[in-house]
Chain A
Amino acid sequence: MEGLNVITKRPVTVGAVLLILILLAVMPFYAKPYPVISLTNILMYIILTVSWVIFSGPTHYISLASAAFFGVGIYTSALLGKILPLPLVVVAGGFASFILALFIGLLTLRLRGMYFIIFTFSISELIRHFLLWWETNVEGTVGRWVVMVSHNTVYYIILIIFVMTMLMAYLMRQSRFGLALRCIGEQEEAAIHIGINATIVKTLTFAISATFMGASGAIMATRWTYIDPRIAFDPHLSFMPVLMAIFGGTGHLYGPLFGAAIFAYLEEILTTKFPYYYMLFFGAILIVVILFLPHGFFGLIQKRWKGGSK
């Protein structure tokens, strides 16, 4: 039998990956606090973007619900942070987002195209406005205090979530589940006629991607002393993973990672130097990418790499 392996098995440079992880793991011991805090932010964006691509990459369903799942994680942390140990709070944040995504998925994944996009965005807005109403009219105070945790603890937990997200993204691509997702993305009507239960596959994947968003929201909440619905369900967090994924390239495992890392780093610098204009830069970069780099920045690098090695 020829070695035509339909479930893509590209060689992973395990050594290089392990080395990078070790360097990241020991970073708090040799780096100053500011780079560790910056990297925490960057890892958060990478988690959101890679999680987003786990579902939206192969299926081409553009979800704008990332803020909803991240925000649910934040609120889980605010509600349970005083009564549960931190690891359980993070797990609870992920689980709450998983359940929410299952519910949303079963409702909305029958929708296609623009309807799905608008519905997912409206979910975030609905939760935000509901919580604002609840806190204002029922509880009488808007917002909550969050149990603070040291920067290094936040960093390590985010690093663990990052590793798990990347591992999940890799395993999905290598699995039958990932193949089913690809078929659905290519031609959903044909996919259901060859025996793929598209509803289950899409809903489960949507929920899995939401889990990592919720978990990262739960730990990131501990960086802020105070959260309210406007902070927790910021629409910016729905749009940024999409921009970062488009920039990096959604068709590759490392595209969203690089896209998120570069964009997050740029945001760090630009918000300091140009606090009122940085979104203009992002908009310009996005236009250039959409017009000239249809497969994203990482897609261009791959193309050049393959062209150079011929």
Chain B
Amino acid sequence: MYQVDFEINPGEVVGLIGPNGAGKTTLFNLISGFLPITVGEIRYKGQKINGLNPHQICWKGVARTFQSTKLFAGMTVFENVVSASLFGSKRTVSLFKAERETMELLEFVDLLSVRTMLAKDLPIAHQKRLEVARALATKPDLLMFDEVMAGLNPVEVQEAMGLVAKIRDRGITIFMIEHVMKAIMEVCDRIIVLHHGSKIAEGRPEEVANSPKVIEVYLGE
């Protein structure tokens, strides 16, 4: 990361785009605490969070999905989500409450019927949804999606866009990396563009789409 400076406001859906290798996932890793920052600062709800461990940042209300899904493959769909419900906050959650929340979340993402299946046996679209449900189970205020629509067919992309809208309607702030431009343009309030680790553009979808710098970066690829 060289020069990245931006803000995300509560309730927004902000997209993060850029060519491969621009540093999008690296930025997510820095925000989630998986990678350390050497220069600069990340603030969440006014508090500095760089230097905290990922589990502490999760407890503060930041959750994420992963570019390649990282499910608990040998555990069931239900177990994947209930684990997040049990551990996702600093306060102890009762098993009864965690199981009830899990059932609600699985219904929300339409995975209730497959809750006893092992995560590794799910098709890719369901795996993506399961990862979303697991992230939601930690009760985040900020949810970071890393290419949640990658590998999906057009019907599945439409369903995923619907899910993003439903999550936004719950008041959760969304920061999403996507290569599916249709989704980014339709769902996002604002888009940030990265290139070679630096922010090169920021604005509403139509502004970014017409930015000469962005066009040059993508056409140059």
The CA of A191 and the CA of B32, in the complex, are separated in Å by 13
B116 at the A/B interface (Cβ < 8 Å)? yes
The CA of A7 and the CA of B95, in the complex, are separated in Å by 9
The CA of A153 and the CA of B87, in the complex, are separated in Å by 44
Cβ A194 vs Cβ B84 within 8 A: yes
5 nearest A-B pairs in the assembled complex, by CB-CB distance:
A186-B72, A195-B87, A190-B70, A194-B84, A192-B54
Please name the residue on chain A nearest to B144 by beta carbon. A193
Provide 10 A-B residue pairs closer than 8 Å at the C-beta atoms, listed in order of the A residue: A1-B99, A6-B78, A6-B95, A189-B66, A192-B34, A193-B54, A194-B58, A194-B138, A195-B84, A196-B87
The stretch of A69-77, A174-182, A270-278, A285-293 that contacts the partner chain: A174-182
Interface size on B, residues (CB 8 A): 37
Q: A195-B84, A195-B87 are in contact. Are A4 and B71 (CB under 8 A)?
A: no
Please name the residue on chain A nearest to B98 by beta carbon. A6
The CA of A10 and the CA of B143, in the complex, are separated in Å by 36
How far in angstroms is the closest Cβ of chain A from B135? Answer: 8
Cβ A195 vs Cβ B79 within 8 A: no
Partner of B72, one of A7, A190, A198, A199: A190
> B66 to chain A: which residues have CB within 8 Å?
189-190
Cβ A194 vs Cβ B87 within 8 A: yes
Please name the residue on chain B nearest to A4 by beta carbon. B78
How far in angstroms is the closest Cβ of chain A from B62? Answer: 9
> A309 to chain B: which residues have CB within 8 Å?
none
The CA of A192 and the CA of B63, in the complex, are separated in Å by 11
| A-binding residues in B (CB < 8 A) | 32, 34, 53-55, 58-59, 63-64, 66, 70-75, 78-79, 82-84, 86-90, 95-96, 99-100, 103, 115-116, 134-135, 137-138
Interface of chain A: mostly helix, strand, loop or mixed: helix
Please name the residue on chain A nearest to B54 by beta carbon. A192
The CA of A195 and the CA of B59, in the complex, are separated in Å by 6
Instruction: Supply 9 further A-B pairs (C-beta < 8 A) apart from A176-B87, A182-B72, A187-B71.
Output: A1-B99, A1-B103, A189-B66, A193-B55, A193-B63, A194-B58, A194-B135, A195-B59, A196-B55
How far in angstroms is the closest Cβ of chain B from A57? Answer: 13
Q: A4-B115, A195-B84 are in contact. Are A186 and B74 (CB under 8 A)?
A: yes
The CA of A125 and the CA of B32, in the complex, are separated in Å by 39
> A198 to chain B: which residues have CB within 8 Å?
55
Q: A1-B99, A4-B116 are in contact. Are A190 and B71 (CB under 8 A)?
A: yes
Q: A194-B134, A194-B137 are in contact. Are A176 and B74 (CB under 8 A)?
A: no
Cβ B78 vs Cβ A195 within 8 A: no
How far in angstroms is the closest Cβ of chain A from B174? Answer: 16
> B89 to chain A: which residues have CB within 8 Å?
195
Interface size on A, residues (CB 8 A): 22
Cβ A187 vs Cβ B70 within 8 A: yes
Cβ B83 vs Cβ A194 within 8 A: yes
> B134 to chain A: which residues have CB within 8 Å?
190, 194
The CA of A176 and the CA of B75, in the complex, are separated in Å by 15
The CA of A199 and the CA of B54, in the complex, are separated in Å by 11
> B54 to chain A: which residues have CB within 8 Å?
192-193
How far in angstroms is the closest Cβ of chain A from B31? Answer: 11
A183 at the A/B interface (Cβ < 8 Å)? yes
How far in angstroms is the closest Cβ of chain B from A23? Answer: 36
The CA of A197 and the CA of B52, in the complex, are separated in Å by 12
Cβ B53 vs Cβ A197 within 8 A: yes
Please name the residue on chain B nearest to A198 by beta carbon. B55
The CA of A190 and the CA of B53, in the complex, are separated in Å by 13
Cβ B70 vs Cβ A189 within 8 A: yes
> A4 to chain B: which residues have CB within 8 Å?
78, 99, 115-116
How far in angstroms is the closest Cβ of chain B from A202? Answer: 13
The CA of A189 and the CA of B66, in the complex, are separated in Å by 10
Cβ A1 vs Cβ B55 within 8 A: no
Question: What 0/1 pattern do residues 1 to 28 of A give for CB contact below 8 A with B?
Answer: 1001011000000000000000000000
- Interface residues in A191-226 (C-beta closer than 8 Å to B): 191-199
Cβ B99 vs Cβ A194 within 8 A: no
The CA of A197 and the CA of B39, in the complex, are separated in Å by 25
Please name the residue on chain B nearest to A194 by beta carbon. B84
The CA of A57 and the CA of B132, in the complex, are separated in Å by 28
> B59 to chain A: which residues have CB within 8 Å?
195
The CA of A194 and the CA of B64, in the complex, are separated in Å by 9
Please name the residue on chain A nearest to B87 by beta carbon. A195
> B73 to chain A: which residues have CB within 8 Å?
186-187
Cβ B87 vs Cβ A180 within 8 A: yes
Q: A7-B95, A194-B134, A197-B55 are in contact. Are A186 and B88 (CB under 8 A)?
A: no
> A194 to chain B: which residues have CB within 8 Å?
55, 58, 63, 83-84, 87-88, 134-135, 137-138
